[in-house]
Amino acid sequence: MATSLELSARRDADGTPVVTAVGEIDMSNVDRFRDALGQAAGDSGRLVVDLTGVEYLDSAGVHALFAFTPGLTLIASPLIVPVLAISGLSDVISVRES
């Protein structure tokens, strides 16, 4: 059974795609997460992912985010920032703490 994950997409004032995730990102729903990121990013090469509503992010979710570097910016809660640091993702992309 998939864990709860809500995804929404919009464009920022400058046209940058923004995907907002709320819930948990794990192996049970990572395909849906990855598809939402890919659809939002398109060919632009830029993408903002708002993870401030994410309570759990496993290695499958981190791996999905690595696929969108460079050009990826994350907005993350203090709960998720250590996961991004330990994985090395925050070394190769921009991470803003909420």
Which range of residues forms the domain containing residue 17?
A: 5-97
**Could you say which DSSP state residue 88 is in?**
T
Q: What is the CATH number of the domain that holds 52?
A: 3.30.750.24
pLDDT tens, 45-90? 799 999 999 999 999 999 999 999 889 999 999 999 999 999 999 9
As for how many domains the chain has, the answer is 1
Provide the pLDDT for residue 2: 67
Would you give the end-to-end CA distance of the chain in angstroms?
A: 30
| Encoded tokens for 81 | 């920032």
What percent of the chain has a predicted confidence (pLDDT) above 70? 98
pTM, rounded to two decimals: 0.93
